Structure 1
Amino acid sequence: MMIIRYIEPKDVNDLYLLAQKAGFGLTSLQPNMEKLAARIERACKTVAGELPKADQVYLFVLEDTELNKVVGVCGIEVALGLKEPWYNFHVGTQVHASEPLSVYNALPTLYLSNDHTNCSELCTLFLDPDYRLNKNGKFLSKVRFLFLSAFRQYFEETIVAEMRGYSDANGQSPFWNAVGHKFFNIEFTKADYLSGVGQKAFIAELMPRHPLYVDMLPDDAKAAIGIVHPNTRPAYNLLLEEGLRYKGYVDIFDGGATLQADIENLRAIKESQSVAVQIEQPENIAVGDEAYIVANDDYENYRAILVYSKPHQNILQLTKEQAKQLNVENGSLVRVLSVQVKQLSSPEVVNKLKATEHFRMAVN
């Protein structure tokens, strides 16, 4: 069975293996055993209520219980930028006009920004490639929204998600080569690594404080602005389904899109429901094609599983094994969210799926 739970210190070796598989560009999951262990400790202390808001992070793992193996990880940072600045570029416009010359130019620009200070952040989403089947990816990504809906009081008003930008198989980022490399004079992979392990002072010291004119960048760098890495596209689409949007903010290293939303507008807040558990024999449970994430809403011992039995009249039927995995019993309340999003109208789908592409088309 696949189960999602809080990360624990014993998971550090599995997490290290996942970090090695993640490759370039996933800043918050670097193959550094000491840093990974420290992050796990921070997550455990967050649940225990031992850290100030500025240090809090929730980390969840997807475990294959048959193999006792962690095969995925995801997280939520509680509040960005309260101890050290959290940077991105804001894609803006600067107008240059001369009436006597009949010239009017609206030029796209990049401004260094700290606008997402004190926002919560969806982070560290990675699933072992061998487990990218049976809706495991959706389960891992969307469980965070179910957690947000259950424990809204622990988070800020706005949630953001910084998406991995484009880089090639060798870790070369055209955006970094055209922008960041000019100011840092180090390779993208090293800058990304230093940021991922918490050494971010160099960003404030070396990044430009004045707007950058996009039209002065090479074509491949312009084309990378607001574009997500091909491996990140499925995760990006899932976030769009849940209500996040691109608002013109991109990563300062690779130019990847940052999505954001008011937490109150997330689908999980509106559509998740609390229902009572009814334990039944497997043969007595009607199983369909639609998948549901089910969580126990136990803050100290959070658990979530994926089921294919539909809630009916505020009752959810579970097998004895499923109830055991969730640490619930007959009559316990659990929170349920459908994995499948209601079909959107065609224009809305098109607008969402092109959210990051609109800037690319504007500058090319």
Structure 2
Amino acid sequence: MTPATDFVVRAATPDDLPHLYEMAKLTGGGFTNLPPDRKALRTKLERSDAAFAKAEAGTTIADELFVLVLENVRTGDVRGTCQLFTHVGQRHPFYSYRLGTLTQHSRELDRTFRAEMLSLTTDLEGSSEVGGLFLHPGERAGGLGLLLARSRYLFIRAHRARFAERILAELRGIIDEGGGSPFWDGLAGRFFGMNFQQADEFNAVNGHQFIADLMPKHPIYTAMLSDTARAAIGLPHPSGRAAMRMLENEGFAHENYVDIFDGGPTMTARTDAVRTIRDARDAQVVAIDRDGGIEALVATGRLRDFRCAYASVRDTGEGGVIVDPGCATALRIGEDAAIVYAPRV
């Protein structure tokens, strides 16, 4: 296993297309932010490249996408990726289902009934989103998933004006052994002439606006769904459970919003309250040495020059820190470099 210190998170470039395409083929379906489609991935990278090229934020938050990749600094191989969306719902309505309860009382029967309902909503429009996190199966150890996930928050901190006050993360929902979605089959599939695999392929390339356009807008009683569809509401795919725990550790919560496509949970948080954003500290490198200290994530640079890696960091006081040589190499920094760091937890 390659040490985690041999990896750096950096801005993606159009040249990363072959790497992203090979990883996209490993996702197993339902992973809409990383479709196994070269044209769709190329469009994402071009959009990201334009966002990295835009030096200053405007007076309002634009609809931008930033794609980051995890690179092995020794081999140059790309082994993971993640994405940041600055403003969802600006191009098209951003729909979610909100799971709520309707309480009714019958005086004649002397009974109170509580019915769960799914209501179509655009409550989360205007939020920023972190998503598209995928780590190559051969690297799922040593904290690389955590490095990818938390690097996004240090990126947000470095470009705070380009992100909203609220942030969300959509987790992939339950997919059965046959590649189907119990939630889709029990709800949306009844209104469309396609199975989940067909809808998944269309969704990955074109987005799920078509679902929102054709789905009934009135609330849906969950008691009318199949047992398997009802049981899948708000549950993450088994491969996403670790991601859900990482989000919860950052302060995200599941507030009963679920994805209209596969029923997976949508996690939300106030951007400035996200743990890594809140607790990260600015510092200046005063020396590069193997001199002990704490394990931390360290980031430097803006936009295309952004880089993030694991490091050993020792605080010398008054804003100065000592970082290890491996970190300095991965981040391409020397003494006097400005960094931001957060303890590895």
Q: Same fold (TM over 0.5)?
A: yes
Question: Amino acid of the residue matched to residue 37 of structure 2?
Answer: N
1:250 is aligned, of 219, 244, 258, to 258
2:309 maps to a residue whose letter is I
Give the letter for the 1:307 counterpart: A
Distance 1:204 1:54, change over 3 A: farther
Whole-Å separation in 1 of the counterparts to 2:63 and 2:206 = 12
Q: Shift of the alpha carbon at 1:320?
A: 4.3
Q: Does 1:227 align with 2:231?
A: no
Partner SS, residue 217 of structure 2: coil
| Residue aligned with 2:99, SS | strand
- Judged with a 3 Å threshold, the aligned counterparts in structure 2 of structure 1 residues 199 and 261 are, in CA distance, closer, same or farther, namely closer
The reply to whether residue 286 of structure 1 matches residue 292 of structure 2 is yes
- Larger fraction in strand: 2
Q: Secondary structure of the equivalent of 2:167?
A: strand
Q: What's the CA shift for 1:153?
A: 0.8
Give 1:276 deviation, angstroms. 1.5
Gaps in structure 2 of 5+ consecutive residues: 1-5
Matched, 1:86 2:94: yes
Query: Which segment drifts farther, 41-50 or 64-73?
Result: 41-50
Residue of structure 2 aligned with 1:166, choices 165, 168, 174: 174
* CA–CA separation in structure 1 for the residues paired with 2:207 and 2:232: 25
Q: Which residue of 2 aligns with 1:296?
A: 300
* Count, aligned residues: 336
CA pair 55-263 structure 1, distance change in 2 beyond 3 A: closer
Q: Do the aligned partners of 2:169 and 2:267 also contact (CA within 8 Å) in 1? A: yes
**In structure 2, C-alpha distance between the alignment counterparts of 1:169 and 1:100, rounded to whole Å:** 47
Does residue 1:76 correspond to 2:71, yes or no?
A: no
| 1:60 aligned residue | 68
Shift of 1:69: 0.9
* 1:80/1:301 CA distance change after superposition, 3 Å: same
Question: Does 1:34 pair with 2:78?
Answer: no
Instruction: Tell me if the contact between 1:274 and 1:336 (Cα under 8 Å) persists in the aligned partners.
Output: yes
Structure 1 segments (4+ residues) deviating >6 Å: none
- Match for 1:15 among 1, 20, 25? 20
1:132 is aligned to 140
Are 1:322 and 2:327 matched, yes or no?
A: yes
- Could you say if the C-alpha distance between residues 151 and 201 of structure 1 is closer, same or farther in structure 2, counting changes exceeding 3 Å? closer
Distance in 2 (alpha carbons) for counterparts of 1:291 and 1:221: 43
Q: What is the DSSP-based 3-state SS (H/G/I as helix, E as strand, rest coil) of the residue aligned with 1:268?
A: helix
Secondary structure at the aligned position of 2:206 is classed as: coil
Greater shift in the superposed pair: 86-95 or 317-326: 317-326
TM-score (norm 2): 0.92
Please say which of residues 226-235 and 145-154 is displaced more in the overlay. Answer: 145-154
- Once the 2 structures are TM-superposed, how far is the Cα of residue 187 of structure 1 from its aligned partner? 1.3
- Asked whether the 8 Å contact 1:42–1:55 carries over to 2, the reply is no
CA contact 1:275–1:335 (8 Å) conserved in 2: yes
Give 1:268's match in structure 2, choosing from 263, 272, 276. 276
The aligned residue for residue 3 of structure 2 is none
For 1:307, the equivalent position in structure 2 comes to 311
